[in-house]
Amino acid sequence: MSILKKIVSLLLILIIIASGCLVKQPAEVRFEIDKKIVQTGETFHLIVTINNTGKVAFIKMEDLIELPEGFTILQSPSFPSPLKVGDVTELVWVIKAPSTPGVYTIKVPLKFIDELNRPWGFYQEFTISVVKKGTPPQYYGKLEASLNLPQKSSGGSILNVTLTLKNSGNAPIEIKEISLKLLEGLVVLNQPQLPRSIGPNMNYVITYKVKASYQYISGYITVIIDYIENNKEKRRIESQFLEITWRPWLKPKDVLKEAYGDKYVWIENEYLVDGYWSSKFNSTSFVNLNSLRDYSLPLVLSSKSEFEAANIIYNWIKENYKLGDVTITLDPLRIIEQRKISYAESQILFTAMMRSISVPSRIVTLYNGSDCTLRPISEFYYENSWYIVDFENNFIGSRDDYIVTPYFPKIYQLITKENYRIVAQAPEDLEGHEHLELTPDYLANLKDRLKSKVEKKFNPTLRPKFTKMLADMSENEQIFTLFLFASAPENELNELFSKYDPKEISKGTKTLYEFYKDKEWPENFIKYWYILRGVYK
């Protein structure tokens, strides 16, 4: 465990004690573990129930759980932001016991941030005994439970998730509640009848029909059983791992249309760019998808998702072609036979190869009112979002990750100062410009998206300094500063804030903004970070 984590945990405990003395806690939080004695390597569960009894919503949770050496968190829960006033949520951690027997202490400090950006701390400790595998475990009740489901399946499939309850005792067991915790992307189709009680030596089988969405899903499905045994309230939790793969290149057209809906058009269109491109480069962008599939399919056949396939094709193009600036053709089947291609041709080839394996893909460019071939990148559809590939800047990832690269500020300036637009090539008649406007999608909630990403670069103890500094700036200063810090190496950013007062950093950042706000920004925004860093060095 790092020294920093110990310090943060200690500070959190002190905050909890202090807040408990001075202010009424805005939530009721219950900590539980389902087993106090486990065998080596056995799985158990930590359950935290949060009831928001305060006056504002909680928007974030920081997990500072401290596990002894050898324990492993197999799955952590997602916090359901926002947790509104009056809402109750149950969070479950799946934990694996170590291979060494002994008595261990598990410390569970959690910090919740409310919508007023105030931190609230809660803390609990548990003692758990780990016994050698094969040692008869000590049970606390007569209820036995098993959760069964296929370990692997495909996107769009319907799974049977079966819970079997057995009462091996000699008295009835009352069932209070059974909760099924699914992964995102899974939906229960039925409402099976649940038992009120289970008699002695009786079994009860509950089958849930669960449909998987058309995407890659991986993690644990958990069921929580609350029951009364021998006049004592008890809880049992079972978890099973599940992996859902999604390989659209193996699916028929009707399934693809259901999976992608209105995005299917970005598969079936056999033209990649509009008539303006064709006229400028004297070339057609028509692609015979079946012919190109002969190149693409062997590369991605064993991939588990669109992103994994995209990453393979992206790396294949980088490894097999020398990239430059001269565009010769827009025909993917001609491009693929060359060994030196332009950045624009690499985006054309990538987009065509993705369509040939039935993944929605498109060319996205800047449009200045007359030319729509500027700064081409590719987008492909993955997990209900558009992801970006930019060969010139060696990038593959989400839009939110792209806006925090040092290359996006220049695009932002062209949009906001020069009235450029971000457009997707949407050819139909192949006459002139045929675009789909994307600028609002890229700029929507830009400041909040940048801030969310930049905050994660800071050590937890330094984040309040950053938040305070940002609050004293205008909107444009904030965006400039967020671009600046997004471009900075993480270690250098934390070093700056650990050594200097936020007011001093704010002063330097504002001066930099005033000097450069009306000048042409560089292609790589890290240049401005080097200037700011140099001032303080």
In the prediction, which pLDDT does 127 show? 86
Q: CB–CB of 416/476 below 8 Å? A: no
Query: In Å, how far from its chain's centre is CA 338?
Result: 37
21 backbone dihedrals φ, ψ, rounded to 5°? -80, -30
Q: How far apart are CA 180 and CA 188, in angstroms?
A: 9
Outline where DSSP puts E strands in 246-347. Answer: 322-324, 340-342
Architecture, CATH, for domain 143-245: Sandwich (2.60)
Q: Residue 32: CB partners within 8 Å, gap ≥ 6? A: 46, 47, 48, 49, 235
In the prediction, which pLDDT does 19 show? 43
Identify the segments of the chain with pLDDT beneath 50.
Answer: 1-2, 4-5, 7-22, 139-141
- Map out the domains of the chain as residue ranges: 3-131, 143-245, 248-439, 448-536
DSSP conformational letter for 383: T
Q: Residue 436: CB partners within 8 Å, gap ≥ 6? A: 423, 424, 426
Given the structure tokens 């929507």, which residue do they identify?
444
Q: How far apart are CA 396 and CA 141, in angstroms?
A: 52
In the prediction, which pLDDT does 23 show? 57
- Show the tokens assigned to 169: 């005792």
In the prediction, which pLDDT does 63 show? 84
Q: CB–CB of 426/432 below 8 Å? A: no
In the prediction, which pLDDT does 150 show? 96
Q: How far apart are CA 120 and CA 471, in angstroms?
A: 21
Q: Tell me which H or E stretch contains 268.
A: helix 265-268
Q: Is 450 helix (H, G, I), strand (E, B) or coil?
A: helix
In the prediction, which pLDDT does 536 show? 80
Amino acid at 53: T
In the prediction, which pLDDT does 22 show? 44
Q: How far apart are CA 220 and CA 183, in angstroms?
A: 7
In the prediction, which pLDDT does 306 show? 98
Q: How far apart are CA 464 and CA 497, in angstroms?
A: 10
Q: How far apart are CA 459 and CA 465, in angstroms?
A: 11
Rg (CA), the chain: 28
In the prediction, which pLDDT does 220 show? 97
Q: CB–CB of 440/464 below 8 Å? A: no
Architecture, CATH, for domain 248-439: Roll (3.10)
Put residue 431 in one of left, alpha, beta given phi > 0 → left and psi -120 to 50 → alpha.
beta
pLDDT digits (tens, 9 = 90+) for 89-103: 999 999 999 999 998
CA pseudo-torsion sign 231, 233, 234, 235: positive
| Surface-to-core class of residue 361, CB atoms within 10 Å of its CB (0-12 exposed, 13-18 middle, 19+ buried) | buried
Closest Cα to residue 155, out of 258, 297, 301? 258
Put residue 87 in one of left, alpha, beta given phi > 0 → left and psi -120 to 50 → alpha.
beta
Helices (H), 74-224: none
| CB half-sphere exposure, 129, CA atoms < 13 A | 7
Architecture, CATH, for domain 3-131: Sandwich (2.60)
Q: Tell me which H or E stretch contains 385.
A: strand 385-390
Closest Cα to residue 505, out of 494, 490, 519, 520? 494
First to last CA, the chain: 31
Matching CATH topology for 3-131 and 143-245? yes
Cis previous bond, 101, omega within 30: no
Per cent of the chain over pLDDT 70 is 95
∠ Cα 17 23 24 (to 5°)? 100
Outline where DSSP puts E strands in 415-463. Answer: 421-425, 435-437
Look up the pTM and report it: 0.82
